[in-house]
C-alpha cells in the first residue's frame, strides 16, 4: 500500500492538516498534478453544466473553491522548486508548466463559464452582497476580462500560446540564474589573500571549502558569502573577480538569459496588446494603487531628483576618504565601493559588522522576533518537533492567538544551500479560507540565506540581516493573521504596491533601543549590547541613505523601461538598453560586460514585473504609518490592534487606500519617506 500512497491525493492526517513532507516523493508530483487538473476541470464543467441560472453561490463562490487537489500540490511543489530544487524538480516543472497553462486557459477562456460570471456581474447592484462577496464578484469578473475572456477565437488561441511560452521561459530564467550562481566560486589557499577578512568570514570560507572537499577557503555568490567578502577583502583584484562574476550571472556563456529577457518582455507586451493595452505596464498597473505609468514615472522621478545630490555627496565623501587612506585610482569602481564604505563607516560611526554580529546570534534573534509578535499582537509560537519538514534545517511552529485559538503553522528555512535560490522571501503552503463552513488556517513560510554555523561559531546575523528577518516576518504576520471566507481575498493577496507595507513597517523595530535591549547579548559571554553601540547603530541608520535609495530607484526605473516598450526588437542589446534606461541615474561607473536584467529575478521570474517600484511606494506608506507607533509607543497594544484589524487581517476585502485611511485616519504624507531617511532639501 505504501508504494501507491500519494500524500497529495488525500487529506493529511497530521495535526491541522499539515503537509506530509516526510512522505512526499518526487514521483508523487506528476500524478498529483494530472489528477488535480482532471478534478478541477470536472468542477469547472459542473459549474458550466448547471441548469440553474447563474448566481453568486453556484458560479462565483463555486469557482473560487475549485481545484483543491491542484492547489495542494502546486503550493508545495512551486515553493520547494525555489527552496530545495534539483534537476528532477526542474524537469517536472518544465513538464507540468504547459499542463498548468492549458488548465488556466481552460478556465479563463471558457466562454460558457464567462457567460455565467458576466451574468452575475451585470446584476451586482441588485444582489445586496456583503462587502467581501461584492469584492470577490468584481475581482472575478475583472480577472476574466484581463485574462482574455472577451477575445475572439483566433485571439484566444494566440493568447494561450503566449502564456504557455511565458510560463516556460520564466522557469528557464530562474534555472539559469541558480545554475550560474552555483557555477562560480573563489577558491583561496594563500593566507595573504585573506587580508582584511574578519574571523567569522574566514570561518565561513573554511567551512565552504570543507563542504567542497577542498583545502583553504571558498567564497561564493550567495549573499552571506559574497557581501562580507566584498566589504572586508583588502585585495582589490579579488574583489573585482567576485564583482564581475556576480554582475555577469546569466549574461553570456552557458546560462545566458539575454534572449530570454528580450522574449519575456516582448511576450508580455504582445499579451497586453491583445487585451487592448498599449504596454504591459499599462496592463499591470490598472489594478494597483499607482494605477498608471504616468503616476509611477512621476513617483520614481520625484524621489530620484532630490536624492541624487545626496548620493553623489556620499560617493564623494567615501572617495576622498579612500584616497586619504591609500586608494590610488581615479574614481571608485563598483568593486571598491562596499570595501571603502565599510571602512568609512568604521571611522565615522566606530561601527562595523564584526563588532555587531556577536550580539545577533540567530537563535536569539528568532526568539526576539517571535516575542515581538507576542508583545504586539498576543501571538504565541510553539516549536513542533513532531511535524515533518522538507529539509533538516527547517523549523516549524504552531501559532496561537492570545485566546489559545490556532492561527497558523509557521515554517522557517534560514540557511543557504545549492538547492535554494538566493535572497529572502515569504510564501505559503496553504492559504486561509472558510471552506464548506469549516475554517482552514494557513501554513506560512519564510526562506532566507543567513550564514550557517561554522565550527564552534554559531549562526550570527548582521544588523542588516536582522532587518531582513523582520521584513519577511512582517509578510508572515500578514498571512498568519489573515481572516476571511475567500482564499483569493485573504492574507498577502493584495495589490503589489500595498503588500510591502506590513513587511517594511516591521524593519523599524531593528533600530529601536527598547527592542534591541530586550535580546541583543554577546553569545560568547552573555553581556548585553552596550547602549553606546545601539546609539551608533541609530546614528548610522541613514548612512548611505541617498546611495541606497538611488540604487532601488534604478531597479524600479529599469523594470518600467522593460515593460513600457511598445515593441521589443529581437536585436535589442541588453547592456545598451540598461545604459540608456538608467542614463542620468548612475553614481558609480558602469562596468562594460555586466548586466542587471539577466539575473533580475523579481521581474523576470517573480511577481514584480512593472511592480518593482512598489518597494519604494510601500516605504512611503510604512514611514508614515510607523509614526503612529512612535507617537503612541512602539509596543502599544491599541495601535498594534488597529494595525491588525485594519491592515493585517483584511487582505483584499477592501481597496487598500481605504484600509490605510482606516488605520491612519487620513491619506499618507507624501514626504514621509524623505523625512525618515534624512533626505530633506540640501542647503547650499
Q: Is the model's pLDDT at 90 over the cut of 90?
A: yes
Task: Specify if 349 maps to a domain.
Answer: no
Specify the CATH number for the domain of residue 487: 1.10.1370.40
Instruction: Please list, residue by residue across 211-240, b when 16 or more beta carbons sit within 10 angstroms of its beta carbon and e when fewer do.
Output: eeeeeebbbbbbbbbbbbbbbbbebeebbe
Task: Specify if 684 maps to a domain.
Answer: no
- The whole domain housing 535 covers 358-544+615-676
Task: Specify if 511 maps to a domain.
Answer: yes
Residues 122, 190, single domain; the answer is no
Residues 26, 125, single domain; the answer is yes
Residues 481, 416, single domain; the answer is yes
Q: Is the model's pLDDT at 454 over the cut of 90?
A: no
Give DSSP secondary structure letters for 156-203. Answer: HHHHHHHHHHHHHHHHHHHHHHHHHHHH-EEEE--GGGGTT--HHHHH
Cβ distance 510 to 467 under 8 Å? yes
Give the residue from 428, 545, 438 showing the smallest Cα distance to 491.
428
Residues 362, 431, single domain; the answer is yes
Q: How far apart are CA 367 and CA 365, in angstroms?
A: 5
Cross-strand bridge partners of residue 219? 186
Task: Specify if 258 maps to a domain.
Answer: no
Predicted pLDDT at 390:
98
Residues 99, 236, single domain; the answer is no
Predicted pLDDT at 682:
52
Predicted pLDDT at 3:
65
413 Cβ neighbours under 8 A, 6+ residues apart: 83, 391, 393, 394, 420, 445, 446, 447, 448
Tell me the pLDDT tens digit for each residue of 615-666.
999 999 999 999 999 999 999 999 999 999 999 999 999 999 999 999 999 9
The kind and range of the H/E element at 396 are: strand 395-400
Residues 118, 10, single domain; the answer is yes
Predicted pLDDT at 414:
98
pTM for the predicted model, two decimal places: 0.93
Task: Specify if 459 maps to a domain.
Answer: yes
Cβ distance 73 to 33 under 8 Å? yes
Residue 472 annotated in active site: yes
401 Cβ neighbours under 8 A, 6+ residues apart: 378, 379, 380, 407
**Integer CA distances (angstroms), 679 to 428, 463, 580, 585, in order:** 37, 22, 27, 17
Q: Is the model's pLDDT at 681 over the cut of 80?
A: no
Give the residue from 105, 482, 142 showing the smallest Cα distance to 288.
142
207 Cβ neighbours under 8 A, 6+ residues apart: 452, 454, 455
Q: Which three cell numbers stand for residue 234?
A: 583588502
Q: Which three cell numbers stand for residue 444?
A: 506560512
Cβ distance 455 to 476 under 8 Å? no
Domain count, the chain: 3
Q: Is the model's pLDDT at 441 over the cut of 90?
A: yes
Q: How far apart are CA 62 and CA 68, in angstroms?
A: 12
Residues 468, 526, single domain; the answer is yes
Residues 136, 189, single domain; the answer is no
Q: What is the total residue count of the chain?
A: 684
Give the residue from 371, 375, 374, 414 showing the smallest Cα distance to 394.
414
Task: Specify if 447 maps to a domain.
Answer: yes
Confidence of residue 683 (pLDDT cuts 50, 70, 90): very low
Residues 513, 631, single domain; the answer is yes
Residues 143, 192, single domain; the answer is no
Tell me the pLDDT tens digit for each residue of 534-567.
999 999 999 999 999 999 999 999 999 999 999 8
Cβ distance 547 to 587 under 8 Å? yes
Q: How far apart are CA 28 and CA 8, in angstroms?
A: 8
Residues 136, 194, single domain; the answer is no
Task: Specify if 59 maps to a domain.
Answer: yes
Q: Which three cell numbers stand for residue 191?
A: 593566507
Tell me the pLDDT tens digit for each residue of 351-374.
988 899 999 999 999 999 999 999
Residues 233, 140, single domain; the answer is no
Task: Specify if 596 maps to a domain.
Answer: no
Q: How far apart are CA 200 and CA 457, in angstroms?
A: 8
- Domain's final residue, options 216, 247, 278: 247
Q: How far apart are CA 512 and CA 538, in angstroms?
A: 8
Tell me the pLDDT tens digit for each residue of 173-196.
999 999 999 999 999 999 999 999
Predicted pLDDT at 1:
41
Confidence of residue 568 (pLDDT cuts 50, 70, 90): confident
- Among the listed residues 82, 266, 314, 472, the single catalytic one is 472
**Integer CA distances (angstroms), 503 to 474, 476, 507, 625, in order:** 4, 8, 7, 12
Give the residue from 35, 66, 71, 33 showing the smallest Cα distance to 431.
71
Q: Is the model's pLDDT at 684 over the cut of 50?
A: no
Please provide the average confidence, as pLDDT, over all residues in the chain: 96
- Domain's final residue, options 150, 174, 209: 150
Tell me the pLDDT tens digit for each residue of 521-533.
999 999 999 999 9
Q: Is the model's pLDDT at 89 over the cut of 90?
A: yes
Cβ distance 36 to 8 under 8 Å? yes
Tell me the pLDDT tens digit for each residue of 240-274.
999 999 999 999 999 999 999 999 999 999 999 99
More confident residue, 190 or 684: 190
**Residue given cell 530545495 in the structure block:** 84
Tell me the pLDDT tens digit for each residue of 605-615.
989 999 999 99
Amino acid at each position: 500500500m505504501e508504494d501507491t500512497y500519494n500524500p497529495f491525493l488525500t487529506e493529511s492526517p497530521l495535526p491541522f492538516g499539515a503537509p506530509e513532507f516526510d512522505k512526499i516523493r518526487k514521483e508523487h508530483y506528476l500524478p498529483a498534478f494530472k489528477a488535480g487538473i482532471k478534478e478541477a476541470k470536472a468542477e469547472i464543467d459542473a459549474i458550466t453544466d448547471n441548469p440553474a441560472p447563474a448566481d453568486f453561490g453556484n458560479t462565483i463562490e463555486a469557482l473560487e473553491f475549485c481545484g483543491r487537489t491542484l492547489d495542494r500540490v502546486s503550493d508545495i511543489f512551486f515553493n520547494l522548486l525555489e527552496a530545495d530544487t534539483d534537476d528532477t524538480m526542474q524537469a517536472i516543472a518544465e513538464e507540468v508548466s504547459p499542463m498548468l497553462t492549458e488548465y488556466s486557459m481552460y478556465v479563463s477562456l471558457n466562454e460558457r463559464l464567462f457567460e455565467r460570471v458576466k451574468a452575475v456581474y451585470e446584476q451586482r447592484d441588485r444582489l445586496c452582497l456583503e462587502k467581501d462577496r461584492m469584492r470577490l464578484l468584481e475581482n472575478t469578473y475583472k480577472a476574466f476580462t484581463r485574462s482574455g475572456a472577451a477575445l475572439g477565437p483566433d485571439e484566444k488561441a494566440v493568447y494561450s500560446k503566449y502564456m504557455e511560452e511565458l510560463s516556460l521561459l520564466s522557469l528557464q530564467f530562474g534555472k539559469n540564474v541558480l545554475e550560474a550562481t552555483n557555477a562560480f566560486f573563489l577558491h583561496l589557499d594563500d593566507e595573504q589573500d585573506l587580508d582584511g577578512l574578519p574571523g567569522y568570514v574566514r570561518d565561513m570560507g573554511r567551512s565552504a571549502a570543507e563542504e567542497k572537499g577542498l583545502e583553504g577557503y571558498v567564497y561564493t555568490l550567495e549573499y552571506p558569502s559574497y557581501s562580507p567578502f566584498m566589504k572586508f577583502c583588502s585585495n582589490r583584484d579579488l574583489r573585482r573577480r567576485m564583482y564581475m562574476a556576480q554582475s555577469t550571472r546569466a549574461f553570456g556563456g552557458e546560462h545566458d538569459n539575454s534572449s530570454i529577457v528580450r522574449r519575456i518582455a516582448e511576450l508580455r507586451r504582445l499579451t497586453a496588446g491583445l487585451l487592448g493595452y498599449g504596454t504591459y505596464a499599462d496592463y499591470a498597473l490598472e489594478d494597483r494603487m499607482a494605477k498608471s505609468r504616468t503616476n509611477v514615472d512621476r513617483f520614481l522621478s520625484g524621489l530620484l531628483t532630490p536624492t541624487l545630490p545626496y548620493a553623489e555627496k556620499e560617493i564623494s565623501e567615501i572617495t576622498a576618504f579612500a584616497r586619504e587612506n591609500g586608494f590610488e585610482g581615479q574614481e571608485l569602481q563598483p568593486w571598491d565601493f562596499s570595501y571603502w564604505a565599510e571602512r568609512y563607516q568604521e571611522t565615522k560611526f566606530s561601527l562595523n559588522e564584526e563588532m555587531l554580529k556577536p550580539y545577533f546570534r540567530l537563535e536569539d534573534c528568532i526568539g526576539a522576533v517571535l516575542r515581538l509578535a507576542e508583545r504586539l499582537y498576543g501571538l504565541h509560537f510553539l516549536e513542533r518537533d513532531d511535524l515533518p519538514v522538507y529539509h533538516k534545517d527547517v523549523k516549524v511552529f504552531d501559532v496561537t492567538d492570545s485566546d489559545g485559538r490556532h492561527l497558523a503553522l509557521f515554517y522557517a528555512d534560514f540557511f543557504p544551500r545549492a538547492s535554494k535560490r538566493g535572497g529572502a522571501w515569504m510564501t505559503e503552503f496553504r492559504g486561509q479560507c472558510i471552506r464548506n463552513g469549516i475554517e482552514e488556517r494557513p501554513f506560512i513560510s519564510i526562506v532566507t540565506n543567513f550564514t550557517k554555523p561554522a565550527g564552534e561559531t554559531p549562526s550570527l546575523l548582521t544588523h542588516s540581516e536582522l532587518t531582513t528577518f523582520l521584513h519577511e516576518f512582517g509578510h508572515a504576520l500578514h498571512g498568519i493573521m489573515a481572516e476571511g471566507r475567500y482564499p483569493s481575498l485573504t492574507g498577502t493577496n493584495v495589490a503589489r504596491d500595498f503588500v510591502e507595507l506590513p513587511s517594511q513597517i516591521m524593519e523599524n523595530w531593528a533600530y529601536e533601543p527598547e527592542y534591541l535591549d530586550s535580546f541583543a547579548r554577546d553569545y560568547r559571554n552573555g553581556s548585553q549590547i552596550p547602549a553606546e553601540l545601539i546609539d551608533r547603530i541609530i546614528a548610522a541608520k541613514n548612512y548611505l541613505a541617498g546611495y541606497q535609495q538611488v540604487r532601488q530607484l534604478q531597479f524600479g526605473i529599469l523594470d518600467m523601461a522593460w515593460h513600457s516598450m511598445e515593441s521589443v526588437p529581437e536585436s535589442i542589446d541588453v547592456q545598451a538598453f540598461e545604459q540608456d534606461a538608467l542614463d542620468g541615474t548612475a553614481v558609480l561607473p558602469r562596468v562594460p560586460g555586466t548586466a542587471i536584467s539577466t539575473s533580475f529575478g523579481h521581474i523576470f521570474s517573480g511577481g514584480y514585473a512593472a511592480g518593482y517600484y512598489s518597494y519604494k511606494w510601500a516605504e512611503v506608506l510604512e514611514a508614515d504609518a510607523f509614526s503612529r507607533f512612535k507617537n503612541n509607543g512602539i509596543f502599544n497594544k491599541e495601535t498594534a490592534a488597529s494595525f491588525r484589524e485594519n491592515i493585517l487581517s483584511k487582505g483584499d476585502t477592501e481597496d487598500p487606500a481605504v484600509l490605510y485611511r482606516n488605520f491612519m485616519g487620513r491619506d499618507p504624507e507624501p514626504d514621509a519617506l524623505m523625512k525618515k531617511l534624512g533626505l530633506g532639501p540640501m542647503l547650499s
